[in-house]
Amino acid sequence: MIRSTLLTNLGIVHGYSTRTESREKFLEQLGVWSEDLVVGEQVHGIRIAGVKDNDRGKTLAGIDGLVAKNLQVGLGVTFADCAPILAVDPNAKIIGTAHAGWNGTLARIARELTIAMKNAGADVHNIYISIGPHIGMCCYNIMDDRANAFQKKFGDNEMIATKILDTWYLDIGYANYQTLLEAGIPKNHIDISKLCTSCRISEFHSFRKDPKDRFGVQLGVIVL
């Protein structure tokens, strides 16, 4: 299991699974029953759902982000190269998740998650966020049109999109980090994993690296 130092220091129950552990074992380590876990369908959009008590054990259709307040539930997000985001305002007792692939990142799902948490009663200055393991710029080569779209949205920022020889490379983790800063999250309240799911294929499933017969997903979970 992978944990965020930031969230661990806050005493928040959370974690990111690896390819070597079963979902059941992972949830058991977190003390979460599958019947109390809520996940989104994850369609690479930016819709954020407010979780209700009767959503326990469900996969919410058409949803890429979740927010829960004062509920003893686990919020889950699956990933295999996309960036999983776990968020919490400990004072307001609000947690959130988001699934940020390139589409969601470009559409600023991290900002939508922040807005949804604020609407639920969170204070942007008290929100803490972990961006979990994801494909790094080292492995994420992209076509010119995608690079142009990110430059149009984020400006000419080589930390997000950079060209090496004739190939563009993208850092979705840093793009989400920038979005969170622009949304008002304090810099020291954001933790970005440096683990690349594509580089570390022995530890993580990777959409780009795994053959179809071996492909799977990891699970990120946060609990109040």
Give the residue numbers spanning the domain of 134.
5-223
Residue 122's CB is within 10 A of a number of other CB atoms, namely 25
pLDDT in tens, 171-199: 999 999 999 999 999 999 999 999 999 99
Residue numbers of the chain with a pLDDT score lower than 70 = 209, 211, 213, 215
Per-residue pLDDT, 213: 67
State the total domains in the chain.
Answer: 1
Per-residue pLDDT, 64: 97
CATH number of the domain bearing residue 115? 3.60.140.10
Residue 20's CB is within 10 A of a number of other CB atoms, namely 9
Structure tokens at 77: 């997000």
Number of H helices, E strands in the chain: 6, 14
Residue 211's CB is within 10 A of a number of other CB atoms, namely 6
pLDDT in tens, 49-67: 999 999 999 999 999 999 9
pTM for the whole structure: 0.95
Per-residue pLDDT, 211: 64
Cα 26 vs. chain centroid, distance in angstroms? 17
